[in-house]
Structure 1
Amino acid sequence: MSLDRRSTAILSHLVNAESIVPVREIMEKFMISRRTVYYDIEKINGWLKDNNLAQVNQVRGAGFSLNPEAANLIPGKINLLKAWHYEYSAKERKGWLALYLLGRDFPLFLEDLSEKLRVSRNTTIEDLKLLKEEIERFHLTLEFERKSGYRVVGEEDDKRKAIVYYLSNVLPNGGWETLLSKIPTILNLAEFNLNNRINLFELDELKAVKEIIAESETDLDVHFTDDFFHSLTFRFILFGKRLMQGKAIRIDDVEKEVLTETKEYKAACKIAGKLSDVFHINFPYDEVLYITKHLLSSKVQSSQRLLQESRTSETYLLTEVVSKMVTDFQKYACVFLKERDLLEKNLLLHMKPSYYRIKYGLEVENQVAELMKDKYPDIFLLTKKVIHHLENAIGKTVNDNEIALIAMHFGGWMRRTGVTPAIRKKMLIVCASGVGTSKLLEHQLEGLFSTIDIVGSVSLRKYETSDYDVDFVISTTPVTKKEVPVFVVSPILTEAEKEGLLKNVNALFGTNVIEKSTSVEGLLEIIKKHALVTNTEGLEKEVRRYFSKQQLKVDLSIKPSLHQLLTGEYIQLKKNVGDWKEAIRIGARPLLEKGNITEEYIQSMINTIIRLGPYIIVAPKVAIPHAKPENGVNKIGMSLLCLEEGVRFSESDRHEVNLLIVLAAIDGETHLKALSQLTTMFSEPGNVQKMVRAKSIEAILKTIEAYSS
């Protein structure tokens, strides 16, 4: 019985689980149906039987677990998984087809490809059809000739972009040994009865290039993420093979001058010299510059150099871009992000390689990005609204994949907490996917474990070669277990994973370390130890009222739609007002009368505008005044003031407003659904003017309803 990527991942998840894994957890983690879970478990059991291992235990009403002895043996079996025991997914087959065709230096026919992928001729034909359609996005065509077989036709630069993309589709996550075990072409092909000419990679080449890249990390004073480190290894091998075939790259003359002035160019010269020894061919000047591009686009786990380097023109440009994006994100999300300087530094660390990836068209596949779009659509939409600053700087459109990665930074930062209780434990995060993913996971865990300190986030390679003084480890990929417990999770935690983590960590420390420190009951116990309480019930009510006011805790899963907040009683139509301050007061009146806000909140909005200027104007004729939740918000709310004659917030004509939406947010997230709907409504041509000219509240409600689904 063969394992595919998903069933292998599910088996690894069971191996790393500290207790029984519920069916629901597997469904949410891998985004599959209950039926598919049982189908994959059946496939896993077949593989376990073939390897003389105990099958998966199914505990009725609880979930799945593995026999302890089998769990200890499975990791070694998985790492030794032969290519003919591994079943490729359709996406992986398509990726390997592209790489074989782009790496070939001899004719490749249907029989070769079918035998290589271990699928039928019909399946291979269907895969080739899909590849032919998809590869057009790189301005390439897939052709067939009777004598030369299948070949990819197009410019060399486009072919290499395709290589980068399809490598990201086939390279698995994990350590170096896991990587090698999943690359069939480095195994002994005699066991397949295949011709060795189809081999794309040699083990000696892989090891040599790996060492070259590791040395470049030292030269550049960076630490590449595991996935980029592995991808770069295979990229350079395929680029070297194409150069051996006489297929060289050409760099634009304008780019040459810019690239040679970077520190990455010096590192690229050194890399090219060593690659020349590996492939026994000289790497020309343009190839050195091409290597420079890839180093500039590198995803890094950490980089002291980037944070400390002098302001180059591009670093200065990106610093300005990041600052503008954060400013606009706060404006559109109606939030005030804490520790903004630190956020901007972390965002810059991600933004620089992203800038070069977009600039040079080095597109990669990212599954975490898709999860970000699915789980946090509001934050993704807001990030998309501010991405124009980066697009203007590059002169190119930023794709959704890169937008989602940037959105992870904003999403993670919005989940930061300021709780610092006395008794604390220490955890380490191991993440193979880079700064954006690790930061997103870090901020989720900070919100989940308020009594635990996160000592840092490291790559898998760094974790396996270093020792850390921590109580437990949370990893996005299976790791070699040391003395401390390891919990393997998704970069974006599902509710089932959160529940499982809370349960397992509580069990680990033998007490409820998460909830005790922040509970009212826990605080009352401390007060009773040191003071005489004459009215326990009254004290408890006052404490609960205090925490309710300070923390404004809500069920974050409940995000009201626009029509649920902007009902008729919160909408006003007026001809004009005296000035912008009066507009704020009149616009906020329904919220004040209904108890959503206090008078303090209205004054805070006015003071903020005086201090920061008309930052609340988010579109022509539209403003969304707001202030911090702690400045007088009792419950979430919105109110709308429609003015027939606009009111100015400055001397400038562009600061004249006809539609004033006062927002009372209770946190940084609950209002985002309504806000994104509001943004969509005002982005449609004519809607602003339509509402300004409306003669009745009913007409406005009709428009709002249309955008509230």
Structure 2
Amino acid sequence: MELDDRSKVIVDDLLSNPSVSSKDLEKKYDLTRRQLGYSINKINDWLKDSNLPAIERTRQGHFIIDQTVFTNLASELPKVLPADMNILSENQRVYMIVMMILSNEELSLFHFTSELAVSKNTILSDLKRAQEFVSDYNLTIRYSRRSGYLIEGKEFNIRKLLTNVISKLLDMKNGSDWIYKLANIQEYEITEINNRIDNVEKKLTIQFTDEKVAMMPFTLILVLERIKKGHIIDPFYIQYEELSDTKEYLATEEILYDLKDIPMEERMFITLYLLTANVYWSESLTEEAIPNLKQAIDDMLRLFEKRAIIFIQDREQLLNKLLLHVKPAYYRIKYHLNDVNDIQLTVSKEFMELHHLVQKSTEPLEELIGEKIPESETTYLTMLIGGWLTKQGESIQEKVKAIVVCPKGVSVSRLMFSELRELFPEFVFLDSLSVREFVNYKLDYDIVFSPVFLETDNRLYIASSFLEREEKIRLRKQVMLDFHGYIPSDINVDDLITIIKNNADIEDEQQLTKDLYRYIHRDDTAQVKNQRNDLPAASLDELIIPENITLKRSVSSWEEAIRIAANPLVESGHIKNDYVEAIISYYDKDPYIVIGPNIAIPHAAPDEGVNDVAMSLLRLEKGVIFTEDYSINLIVIIAAVDKQKHLKALMQLMKLAGSDEDRNAMIYADSREEIFKIINKYSV
């Protein structure tokens, strides 16, 4: 019997290195345990035909080979077993099949079996896997007698697939040789395109990464070949004005200088391809093509510094490094080409929390691009920032990491998170979570703050959802004493000044003393500022104005109560009817909107119909039933546009909710004015 290629290579490896294990072979040749077992059985059948002892496999995955096998096969092996044989995995055959279909016409099963040297059944199985692979791009593999195998779908998606497959093939051993062969590309074609790419790099005064330089000639040749065959890209939402002003558009013209019949859509696509290519180095980093990009990256870094309690050194250098990556990422994300880059990166355990904080800081970039930043891009940003911090000797791992677990709904949870972060500015606060989210939380943390008892191996501090000044002082003292062995309020400003004098020159001792005293004895109930524009957040009396207060004796249902309570905000244009329906849809999902006896704060997400920050109040003399547990007399509709603007008013409302006297006075008030007077008491 004749050995197949895979079995030949495996027996050669076994005879060359008898100590190799099953796992080593599986990993080396990308085989499953079953596939390796199948090959070992074939080898043993072949040895049996040659009257040689079988190769035994131990339970630990090692091999026992009789000396007669070595003696008898030593002279035969060079003739039978090619030393450079490359076993193809199933995935690699799929990429090859896709490449053949994309770059050739009238292909049949025979072409695949002869080119890949496998059986017809293997190819049929591979074609099924190829169909699964291309379906991720909304494409289909179809066979017809007249045209053979074709890939059908939008040309834009086919280009994305083509670029990804080229990348996959180049990752293989002898990958470029395979592309030459499968796509019928001549070496002189690659040389010509490489010369043009050299000119492009000089014209743009940039240097593409080695990976991109390897990919570009193959991609451009195959794209141009598809254009020749009439596979023109569909008109899509590339903005001509945005791309035609770039240096990359001029570079595209340089590449296509002698090709006159290339449609504008194709010129735009090639420009976009150059714009999305990763750059290793650039002589000049201007933002003419993408105004405000550098500012958005800087804003992202500032948010990250605040969340991670870190000061980034040599900031301008890191900004330029990030700009090199983010500029092509901007076009990848905006035009949905990020899977073309296909970065298969994973965050190491050391960087898990860092990655989480980077993800939470990308809002300025998302606003600029108008799209959510994909995981692959935030992973790369994490690696760049993490590497920079390591270089400057910083580590998130060394900092105290805290989470807040609150069962009382999104707004109350955010309020608690915000207050605790202000109270402990030296801690990294990772998340505010519901109890259910906490049960499955994966990140490492040191402290949990929660108003309820939780099962945890870490330190748990029970804290009210709304922290009064006295509780804040007590909590801070307790936590700092536990973690650092001192109580912060005992810090003496004069002692600090003496220490600073011994180690630094002080320009204005009087002003420094004032600033230190103000920081150490700061009022944690001070006015909440809007993070984005630094304007004071609205007070309770600025949001629940008399016009937004409705008095009713009773209502027939919770749904009716919501509609009546929200009506003033709908009429004034602060919210849409969609927001009211969204609140009602959460009826069964969020029982924790009840913030005190007889008072509830129903709300939904900002993107479900909020136009501007606002609140309204419905007072019912006879309470309405909410779930089986509560009778509600005071219903405050909250419409929040972000995480900050309503927090001050919410803090004041929570304080009001804690007063039995004022809460009952509102329930039994005779007029809006009486209720508004009570609201005024808490709006300071």
**TM-score, normalising length: structure 2:** 0.51
| Residues 245 and 327 of structure 1, relative CA distance in 2, 3 Å threshold | same
Do structure 1's residue 377 and structure 2's residue 269 form an aligned pair? no
Q: Secondary structure at the match of 2:284?
A: helix
The 5 A counterparts of 1:62-81 are none
In structure 2, how many angstroms separate the alpha carbons of the residues matched to 1:373 and 1:151?
41
Report the AA paired with residue 323 of structure 2.
Answer: L
| Structure-to-structure mapping, 1:665-684, within 5 angstroms | none
- Match of 1:284? 263
CA distances 1:501-559 after superposition (whole Å, capped 9, x unpaired)? xxxxxxxxxxxxxxxxxxxxxxxxxxxxxxxxxxxxxxxxxxxxxxxxxxxxxxxx986
- Of all paired residues, the percent bearing the same amino acid is 24
Q: Which amino acid aligns with 2:302?
A: T
C-alpha separation in 2, matches of 1:83 and 1:397: 49
Alignment of 1:19-418 (within 5 A): 85-104=85-104, 106-172=105-171, 182-186=176-180, 199-252=183-236, 255-273=239-257, 276=259, 282-306=261-285, 309=286, 311-312=287-288, 314=290, 316-364=291-339, 369-372=344-347, 376-417=351-392
The separation in 2 between residues aligned to 1:240 and 1:226, in whole angstroms, is 22
Provide the secondary structure at the position in 1 that maps to 2:390.
coil
Rounded Cα–Cα distance in structure 1 between residues aligned with 2:483 and 2:237: 65
Which residue is equivalent to 2:462? 571
Contact 2:29 2:89 in 1 (8 A): no
Change (3 A) 1:576 1:163: closer
How far apart in 2 are the matches of 1:114 and 1:130?
16
Letter in 1 for 2:96: W
Does the C-alpha gap of structure 1 residues 30 and 284 become closer, same or farther in structure 2, counting only changes over 3 Å?
same
CA-to-aligned-CA distance 1:578-611 (integer Å, 9 cap, x gap): 4xxx67543311123325254459979xxxxxxx
Distance 1:237 1:312 in 2: 30
- Which amino acid in the other structure matches residue 347 of structure 1? L
Give distance in 1, aligned partners of 2:335 and 2:490: 48
Tell me the distance in 1 between the aligned counterparts of 2:147 and 2:525.
71
**Equivalent pair of 1:223/1:300 in contact (CA under 8 Å):** yes
SS in 2 for 1:386: coil
Measured after TM superposition, the shift of residue 223 of structure 1 is 0.7
Cα deviation for residue 151 of structure 1 reads 0.8
Letter in 2 for 1:593: L
Cα distance in 2 for residues equivalent to 1:157 and 1:284: 14
Task: Answer yes or no: is the 8 Å Cα contact 2:308–2:357 preserved in 1.
Answer: yes
126 and 687 in structure 1: CA distance in 2 versus 1, 3 angstrom threshold: farther
**What residue number does 1:512 align with?**
none
Deviation at 1:328, TM superposition (A): 2.3
Q: Using the TM superposition, give the Cα deviation of residue 213 of structure 1 relative to its aligned residue in structure 2, in angstroms.
A: 1.1
> What's the CA shift for 1:82?
9.8
For 1:102, what is the secondary structure of its paired residue?
Answer: helix
SS in 2 for 1:370: coil
2: distance between equivalents of 1:394 and 1:32?
Answer: 39
SS in 1 for 2:241: helix
In the alignment, the residues of structure 2 paired with residue 97 and residue 405 of structure 1 have an alpha-carbon distance, to the nearest angstrom, of 31
2:528 is the counterpart of 1:649: yes
Amino acid at match of 2:481: E
User: Offset of 1:375 from its aligned partner?
Assistant: 6.6
8 A contact 1:577–1:583 mirrored in 2: yes
Aligned position for 2:479: 591
Which one-letter code corresponds to 1:183 in the other structure? D
For the residue of structure 2 that corresponds to 1:96, the secondary structure is helix
1:311-346 CA deviation, whole Å, 9 max, x = no partner? 4251x3221221222122233334333333322221
1:224, 1:301 within 8 Å by CA — same for their partners in 2?
Answer: yes
1:228 Cα shift?
0.9
Q: Which amino acid in structure 2 is aligned with residue 301 of structure 1?
A: Y
Provide the rounded CA distance (Å) in 2 between the counterparts of 1:140 and 1:266.
Answer: 32
**Residue type of the alignment partner of 1:417:** Q
Q: 1:584 to 1:255 in 2, by over 3 A?
A: same
Q: Would you say the 8 A contact 1:100–1:200 is kept in 2?
A: no
Higher mean alpha-carbon deviation, 117-126 vs 373-382, is at 373-382
Instruction: Please give the secondary structure, in 1, of the residue aligned with 2:300.
Output: helix
User: Structure 1 164/366 Cα, relative in aligned 2: closer, same or farther at 3 Å?
Assistant: closer
Amino acid at match of 1:124: I
Q: Which has the larger radius of gyration?
A: 2
Distance 2:272 2:193 in 1: 17
How far is 1:655 from its partner? 9.8
The 1:312–1:646 alpha-carbon spacing in structure 2 relative to 1, beyond 3 Å, is same
Deviations 1:294-315 (A, max 9, x none): 1111101111222xx3x4251x
Structure 2: distance between partners of 1:588 and 1:687: 30
Give the corresponding residue for 1:490: none
What does 1:1-20 align with in structure 2 at a 5 Å threshold?
A: none
The one-character-per-residue Cα deviations of 1:110-159 (angstroms, maximum 9, x if unpaired) are 22123222332222222222222232232222212232222111122221
Q: 1:347 aligns to what SS in structure 2?
A: helix
Aligned-partner SS, 1:283: coil
Q: Distance in 2 between matches of 1:597 and 1:342?
A: 38
- For the residues of structure 2 that align with 1:559 and 1:575, how far apart are their CA atoms? 23
C-alpha displacement of 1:288:
2.3
Q: Which AA in structure 1 matches 2:217?
A: T
SS at match of 1:393: helix
TM-score, normalised by the number of residues in structure 1: 0.50
More relative contact order, 1 or 2 (CA 8 Å, 6+ apart):
1
> Residues 374-429 of structure 1, C-alpha deviation per residue, up to 9 Å, x if partnerless?
7743333333323343333222333322222222122222322359xxxxxxxxxx
The equivalent of 2:68 in structure 1 is none
SS of 1:86's equivalent in the other structure is coil
CA contact (8 A) 2:163 2:340 kept: no
Cα pair distance change 1:234/1:591, threshold 3 Å: same
Please, which runs of 5 or more residues in structure 2 have no aligned partner?
14-18, 41-80, 399-442, 449-454, 493-518, 530-534, 541-588, 598-684
RMSD between superposed Cα atoms in Å: 5.2
Q: Which runs of structure 2 are paired with 1:525-540 in the superposition (5 Å)?
A: none
Report the Cα offset of residue 238 of structure 1: 0.6
Match of 2:659 in 1: none
**Matched position secondary structure for 1:332:** helix
- Give the secondary structure class of the aligned counterpart of 2:463: strand
Going from structure 1 to structure 2, the CA distance change for 1:111 and 1:399 (only over 3 Å counts) comes to farther
The CA deviation at 1:272 is 0.8
CA contact under 8 A between 2:141 and 2:151: conserved in structure 1?
Answer: yes
Give the whole-Å Cα distance in 2 for the aligned partners of 1:138 and 1:34: 27
Choose 114-123 or 595-604, whichever is displaced more.
595-604
Provide, for residues 56-103 of structure 1, a one-character-per-residue CA deviation record: whole Å limited to 9, x for no partner.
xxxxxxxxxxxxxxxxxxxxxxxxx99982222222222222222122
The question of whether the paired residues in 1 share the 8 Å contact of 2:345 and 2:380 is answered with: no
Is this contact kept in 2: 1:108–1:150, CA < 8 A?
yes
Q: 2:94, 2:127 within 8 Å by CA — same for their partners in 1?
A: yes
Are the equivalent residues in 2 in contact too, given 1:228–1:298 (CA < 8 A)?
yes
Asked if structure 2 preserves the Cα contact closer than 8 Å seen for 1:169 and 1:365, the reply is: no
Distance 1:377 1:163 in 2: 33
Letter of the 1:283 counterpart: I
Partner of 2:346: helix, strand, or coil?
Answer: helix
C-alpha distance in 2 between matches for 1:413 and 1:31: 36
Pick closer, same or farther for the CA change 1:286–1:182 going to 2, 3 Å. Answer: closer
For residues 157 and 366 of structure 1, do their structure 2 counterparts lie closer, same or farther at Cα, with a shift above 3 Å needed? closer
SS at 1:144's partner residue? strand
Superimposed CA distance per residue, residues 452-501 of structure 1 (whole angstroms, 9 cap, x where no aligned partner): xxxxxxxxxxxxxxxxxxxxxxxxxxxxxxxxxxxxxxxxxxxxxxxxxx
8 Å CA contact 2:344, 2:376 repeated in 1:
yes
